Structure 1
Amino acid sequence: MQPQALMLFAAGFGTRMGDLTRSRPKPLIPVAGRPLIDHALDLCDAAGVGRVVVNTHYLADQIHTHLSGRPGIAISHEAPDILDTGGGLRHALPLLGAGPVFSLNSDAVWTGPNPLDQLRAEWDGARMDGLLLLVPRDRARGHGGTGDFIPDAAGRLTRGPGAVYSGAQILKPDLLADIRDSAFSLNRLWDSMLAQGRLYGVLHRGGWCDVGHPGGITQAEAMLAEARDD
């Protein structure tokens, strides 16, 4: 079964952005003249995702206003507490519907093949419970660290210094029901899938930039300009 809906994460506080997020949520920070969230929604539109659920918490009214009147988008508001990625996804399941779902972070910019199309083409629900889109460390702009996952020859993942998780994935959300906490990271779900050998990854074939900090804005704009010049 192919995913029909997408969870777009937009609830975070954006603390690494410093003053830029004191009065504006991170998804509305402009990159190349357009809010980050619009870059993400362009990917959804181009991939033909019919149902998008956006979670909100910090300065939520601004995001609600920005998205008002846009068809095919539902809001999953988290209050009084933010629920992190795992809790946020579980909270949104009534809006997402049954079956596997895409999820996408709103604080990255992409070039090259649509990441959602890449994931859809590689998804095999018979052997996968999760499929993460990864970026080689040497092409992970705006991102430090040693990487997150190591894929084997078949794409099955283990944790370790290797490729960087891009913030795009397909997941079967069934295992969320086994977690008692209300707020928790999707790392908990990944750990369950890793233990069963059912978490896979595929490498993105284009450009990617993490825009989680102020320096990422300049890097993302440079990457987009390079893609236009090619």
Structure 2
Amino acid sequence: MRPLPPPLMLFAAGFGTRMGALTAQRPKPLIPVAGRPLIDHALAIADAAGVGRIVANTHYLADQIAAHLAPRGIALSAERERILETGGGLKAALPLLGESPVLTLNTDAVWTGRNPLSQLMAAWDGARMDGLLLLLPAAQARGHHGTGDFLVDDEGRLTRAMGAPAPVYLGAQMLRTEGLAGIGETVFSLNLLWDRMIAAGRLFGVIHDGGWCDVGRPEGIAEAEAMLQGAA
């Protein structure tokens, strides 16, 4: 019998300030792309990968996201007082997520090609990995601005790019969460956990087998829709 997929954390708490007026009255995960809200694109990926347990964090215009997700029965990790960032948000959601490792997926991008969560699960090797990040060469990352994030060695281990041309992190990963207990901060980025994994030689990356488009800015909507149409 094949093991069940790990639980999934959807990051949906941000203000979406780069979207300007589009997020004045609506949270970024509910902005429509190709006829459906961004978060529904993420949920379709989760469904296709067979994920059962899903948790979404909320903060900005949280009631709208809660109402949208209510028919699905998705558990919510409400960050009421302040946004906890990716690391703090994941740490706060652990009682809802349960066992480690977990999958995480940003809700401000669209994908083509192989299912990103399925690809992560297929490449996961718990004997040598504490984290596995999905990457794409910067030149192929639509909607991305700037250089890459990580260098990848011949075995797939990651180190920081330090401004060099390198693959970009796409906002999808699989990772062990035990290391979060050793971080005393309440608000922090997952970069802190990644750096500890890098130091231990246990952060890995895999190149996504398909396309990806960041929808963090208004112009990303049309670019994402063009990518999806071209892949249809």
TM over 0.5: yes
| Code of the aligned partner of 1:121 | A
Distance 1:2 1:214 in 2: 37
After TM superposition, give the deviation of residue 2 of structure 1 in Å: 7.0
Distance 1:179 1:5 in 2: 21
Q: Deviation string for 1:43-90 (max 9, x for gaps)?
A: 00000000000000000000001111214x111100111100000000
Q: Pick one of 201, 206, 209 that aligns with 1:205.
A: 209
Give the structure 2 partner of residue 32 of structure 1. Answer: 34
| Code of the aligned partner of 2:59 | H
Distance 2:222 2:71 in 1: 30
Contact preservation (8 Å) 1:2, 1:100 = no
After TM superposition, give the deviation of residue 18 of structure 1 in Å: 0.5
SS of match in other structure, 1:201: strand
Distance 2:224 2:14 in 1: 20
Matched residue pairs, number?
227
Give the structure 1 partner of residue 229 of structure 2. Answer: 225
Give the structure 1 partner of residue 55 of structure 2. Answer: 53
Give the structure 2 partner of residue 85 of structure 1. Answer: 86
After TM superposition, give the deviation of residue 3 of structure 1 in Å: 4.9
| Code of the aligned partner of 1:169 | Q
Q: Deviation string for 1:154-189 (max 9, x for gaps)?
A: 100011030000000001011111111100000000
Distance 2:85 2:139 in 1: 28
SS of match in other structure, 2:82: coil
Contact preservation (8 Å) 2:5, 2:52 = no
Q: Deviation string for 1:79-118 (max 9, x for gaps)?
A: 1111000000000000000110000000010000000010
Distance 1:113 1:139 in 2: 15
Give the structure 2 partner of residue 178 of structure 1. Answer: 182
After TM superposition, give the deviation of residue 138 of structure 1 in Å: 1.5
Distance 1:105 1:197 in 2: 25
SS of match in other structure, 2:114: coil
| Code of the aligned partner of 1:188 | L
Give the structure 2 partner of residue 124 of structure 1. Answer: 125
* Mapping 1:34-183, distance limit 5 Å: 34-71=36-73, 73-160=74-161, 161=164, 162-183=166-187
| Code of the aligned partner of 2:96 | L
Contact preservation (8 Å) 2:9, 2:102 = yes
SS of match in other structure, 2:120: helix
Structure 2 unpaired stretches of 5+? none
Distance 1:126 1:149 in 2: 22
Q: What TM-score, normalized by structure 2, do the two folds share?
A: 0.96
Runs of 4+ in 1 over 3 A off after TM superposition: none
Contact preservation (8 Å) 1:6, 1:53 = yes
Distance 1:2 1:179 in 2: 29
SS of match in other structure, 1:68: helix
SS of match in other structure, 2:174: strand
After TM superposition, give the deviation of residue 137 of structure 1 in Å: 1.2
